[in-house]
Amino acid sequence: MNTLIVLQIGISSFFELDNLYQVFVTRNKMLFVDDETEFSQKLSLFDYGLKVINRDSVIEVCLLSDKVLDERTLFVFDMNVKEIKVEVKRTVYQMLSRFFKPLSKWGILVGIRPVKLVHEMLDDDLSLDLIRDVLSDKYFIHPEKVALMTEIALRERPHLVPNDISAISLYLCIPFCPTRCLYCSFPSNDLKQKGKRLPEYLEKLAAETIHAVNHIYRLGKKVDCIYIGGGTPTSIDESQLDALLGMIKSHVNLADVKEYTVEAGRPDTITRKKLEIMKKNGVNRICINPQTMNEQTLVTIGRAHDAKSIVDVMKMAKEIGFKTINMDLIIGLPGETVHHTSDTLDKIIELAPENITIHTLAVKRASRLHEDLDYYELTHDQMVEEMMDDAELKLRKHGLTPYYMYRQKKMVGHLENVGYAISGHESLYNMRIMEEKHSIVACGAGAVSKICAPEENRFERVANFKGLEDYLDRFDEILLKKEILE
Ligand code: SF4
């Protein structure tokens, strides 16, 4: 499919149709309008037009070029919102598939948490055979992805069910990095520009964390999982890190904590002393994220370290002795081929981390990569798929199996991000954040708390201010937000 104009009336963004069209249309070739006259006027400028119009529970879907190619009417009077959403997506998908090849193997599933759907069906006691049939026949998902989803759900299940609602995960965000990576879309702050406010930030973060933890204990609940992410948490200096982790140690009962992660991230921010501080304060899982071991790519993506420093830091971390070390890789980085990712994987596997997370490059609107896309050669979809297959084969061969996954918008090759682990090293926090069955209290700029109260059928997200300045200057409002835990 080349260019497409879409008229959508009475269809909420909740239907995720925008994402579904992306399965058929390559980037930046679509226009959305909500006015019939404008649609008619502009239709001739596009190769195809699609109308999805909902009027009083009668939904008309029509695909046209210079003539009508297909049109269907859906009567959705007795359906709930979820059923209508699936029905509309199925219809649009079937119509477009008649004329164009879908670019993704995920069928109508375009959300970021595909495995949640399998858990919902397992919760309803559906058999695995029936679940596989539903995923293929109703959601049009390719058997390869059906197998991946069900395998992951079954691996996650013992960690998530039964759901202990008294146990809460605690997340702290350090939104600072030494430089900004090419593909980054996080609201991370450049230390050189914003570092002056770091001490004040750490003070407020500690105050928010103590407030939140005390509140959790007042409610008779416990903290059983801690995750410090960012940004790059190890951007802060040794004494700041010692103070932060010391604060956590003196306010959280670490005897209850099964998993305590610091996303150390970039090797240029890690020192032996920082690793020792983490170890002494009870951290048992760290992430060291190379993304690639190719020197040229490291320069291209704006990392201020080389491949050797990744190996050195990893060896140091192994000597100090953390239970689990994760390493993140990205496939599809500009200029890389299957040879590059294969070489990266060999080098990483040799370092023997217990977790390896394979991300597919996502070209996010807020990234430098998106801004300067014309200057970079993106890897072709088919090659990214080959890279993913190669990675899976290598990792399974070395005893690492997939245990959690998620998808993002604008991923190269319409693929997914998959976390692999040696059995017994699956990250509790990663599984919990994806499957949303569990409460996470999040502190810091841009942090999003998720409160899950199944007994009240309640799932609520509460976001802190994203911007550093807002977080610091409107801190009283931040503390009030923690009351959602009630
Ligand atoms: S390390 Fe992560 S948060 Fe920091 S700039 Fe790179 S992608 Fe963004």
Confirm or reject: Cβ of 188 under 6 Å from ligand 1.
yes
For ligand 1, the distance from its centroid to the CA atom of residue 12, given in whole angstroms, is 32
HSE at residue 187, side-chain half, CA atoms within 13 A, is: 14
Does residue 31 register a pLDDT over 80?
Answer: yes
For ligand 1, the distance from its centroid to the CA atom of residue 266, given in whole angstroms, is 9
Does residue 232 register a pLDDT over 70?
Answer: yes
- Range of weakest confidence among 1-5, 266-270, 432-436: 1-5
Q: How far apart are CA 81 and CA 421, in angstroms?
A: 37
Confirm or reject: Cβ of 265 under 6 Å from ligand 1.
yes
pLDDT tens digits for 170-179?
A: 999 999 999 8
HSE at residue 104, side-chain half, CA atoms within 13 A, is: 28
Radius of gyration of the chain (CA): 24
Q: With cut-offs at 50, 70 and 90, classify the pLDDT of residue 28.
A: low
Q: What is the rounded average pLDDT of the residues 360-382? A: 90
| CATH of 163-443 given 3.80.30.20, 3.40.50.11540, 2.30.42.10, 3.40.50.720 | 3.80.30.20
For ligand 1, the distance from its centroid to the CA atom of residue 350, given in whole angstroms, is 25
SS3 content of the chain, % helix, strand, coil (to 5): 45, 25, 30
Sequence-ordered strand ranges (E) for 76-187: 167-174, 176-177
Mean pLDDT rounded to a whole number for the chain: 93
Confirm or reject: Cβ of 180 under 6 Å from ligand 1.
yes
CA dihedral 439, 365, 30, 408 (to 10 degrees): -30
Name the percent of the chain lying above pLDDT 70. 98
Q: What is the rounded average pLDDT of the residues 297-320? A: 95
pLDDT tens digits for 168-226?
A: 999 999 999 998 899 998 888 999 999 999 999 999 999 999 999 999 999 999 999 99
The answer to whether 467 and 187 have CB atoms below 8 angstroms apart is yes
Q: What is the pLDDT of residue 486?
A: 61
**Considering all CA atoms of the chain, what is the largest pairwise distance in Å, rounded to the nearest integer?**
71
pLDDT tens digits for 389-422?
A: 999 999 999 999 999 999 988 888 889 999 999 9
CATH fold group of domain 1-103: Rossmann fold (3.40.50)
Residue 412 amino acid letter:
V
Boundaries of every domain in the chain: 1-103, 163-443
Q: How far apart are CA 345 and CA 315, in angstroms?
A: 17
pLDDT tens digits for 236-295?
A: 999 999 999 999 999 999 999 999 999 998 999 999 999 999 999 999 999 999 999 999
Q: With cut-offs at 50, 70 and 90, classify the pLDDT of residue 1.
A: low
Work out the angle between the directed axes of helices 143-160 and 428-435 (0-180°, nearest 10): 110
